Amino acid sequence: MKIYRLYIDESGDHTFYGTDDISKRYLGLTSIIIVAEYYRTSFQTDFEILKQTHFPHSPDEPVIIHREDIVHRRRQFWRLRDSEKEQAFNIDLLKFLEEKEYCVISVVIDKNTHIGKYGDIAYHPYHYCITALLERYCGFLNFYNSKGDVMAESRGGTEDKQLKVTYKRLFEGGTRYRGSAFFQKSLTSSEIKLKPKWKNIAGLQIADILAHPCTREILADQGKHEISANNFGIQICQRIKEKYNKQVFQERISGYGKIYLG
């Protein structure tokens, strides 16, 4: 039996405030599913090699890949102001994303529409997305007769406590579509693991890289967003298009690897 871990990161605003503002209207959660042993022996070690190659550093002070820092060339990523070094890094990053073995599930919610439908009883957007995500993750695990746990990026005291409650409630009580046995059969822990970015978790860093382009691609699929042809995010999405979770027999990605909650 294979043991997996799901790593989750977000793109967008996770609150209900200012949803009329297009920059705050959508929230995306993107996750990668990885076999734990493969992660230990190949994925994590090769990711560190990638970082050392382009951003030499002491192992005692690891470089943390964060999309916002890369975009703005902050911290160690000042090296990317050199176009040749930027191109070399992009090539190796795309190669890593394409060649490594993992599965992607991405969920996007239109918070404005959600509030319009449910008003005061609208489900918390982050928790709604993670519930939809975990239903697919556990479906994946159950289909392959496997087990796994879940790790998400820590977002702070109150948010972390609320997320732990949501996860535990799902584990113990299930959802309107899936009973508790569905989750307990596949999940190895009744508690979600939460880690900050500075802990240098490779899975969370890759989820961070994928979260923005995956969210934008799903919105583009729904006619909600246009992507520039020279956007590096498009190249990322092209390299990972075979990584999405899918319905095995029909190979359908919509509803399995890409979920839009409109």
- 80 has a pLDDT exceeding 90: yes
Question: What pLDDT, on a 0 to 100 scale, did the predictor assign at position 121?
Answer: 74
Least confident of 18-22, 42-46, 106-110, 218-222: 18-22
Percent of the chain with pLDDT over 70: 95
Alpha-carbon span 87 to 207, nearest angstrom: 21
Q: Average pLDDT, stretch 240-251?
A: 94
Count Cβ atoms below 10 Å from residue 239 Cβ, excluding itself.
16
pLDDT of amino acid 118: 78
- Lowest mean pLDDT across 7-21, 24-38, 98-112, 218-232: 7-21
Q: pLDDT tens for residues 148-181?
A: 999 999 988 888 998 999 999 999 999 988 999 9
CATH topology for the 3-261 domain: Nucleotidyltransferase; domain 5 (3.30.420)
Question: What integer pLDDT is reported at residue 14 of this predicted model?
Answer: 65
Alpha helices in the chain (DSSP H): 36-38, 44-54, 67-71, 83-99, 111-118, 125-143, 157-173, 180-186, 202-221, 232-240
How would you class 216 by CB atoms within 10 Å of its CB: exposed for 0-12, middle for 13-18, buried for 19 or more? buried
Q: Are 147 and 4 in contact (CB under 8 A)?
A: yes
pLDDT at residue 180 in the model: 96
DSSP state of 102: -
- Tens digits of residue pLDDT in 213-227: 999 999 999 988 776
Q: Are 229 and 238 contacting, i.e. CB atoms less than 8 angstroms apart?
A: no
The backbone torsions φ and ψ at residue 150, rounded to the nearest 5 degrees and listed phi first, read: -135, 135
Domain boundaries, the chain: 3-261
Q: Please, what is the average pLDDT of the chain? A: 92
pLDDT tens for 99-146 read: 999 999 999 999 988 888 877 777 888 899 999 999 999 999 999 999
Where does the pLDDT of residue 233 fall: very low under 50, low under 70, confident under 90, or very high at 90 and above? very high
d(C-alpha 103, C-alpha 100), whole Å: 10
Residue 229 predicted with pLDDT over 80: no
> How far is the C-alpha of 99 from the C-alpha of 191, rounded, in Å?
31
Instruction: Tell me how far apart the alpha carbons of residues 158 and 37 are, in angstroms, rounded to a whole number.
Output: 33
Answer whether residue 58 shows pLDDT above 90: yes
- pLDDT of 117 reads 81
* Residue 12 pLDDT: 82
Look-up of token digits 């890289």: 209
Mean per-residue pLDDT, 194-223? 94
Is this prediction's pTM over 0.85? yes
49, 50, 56, 61: CA torsion to nearest 10: -70
Q: Quote the pLDDT of residue 17.
A: 62
Rounded Cα distance, 133 and 139, in Å: 10
pLDDT at 92: 98
Spatial contact of 10 and 207, defined as CB atoms under 8 Å apart: no
User: Which is higher by pLDDT, 78 or 230?
Assistant: 78
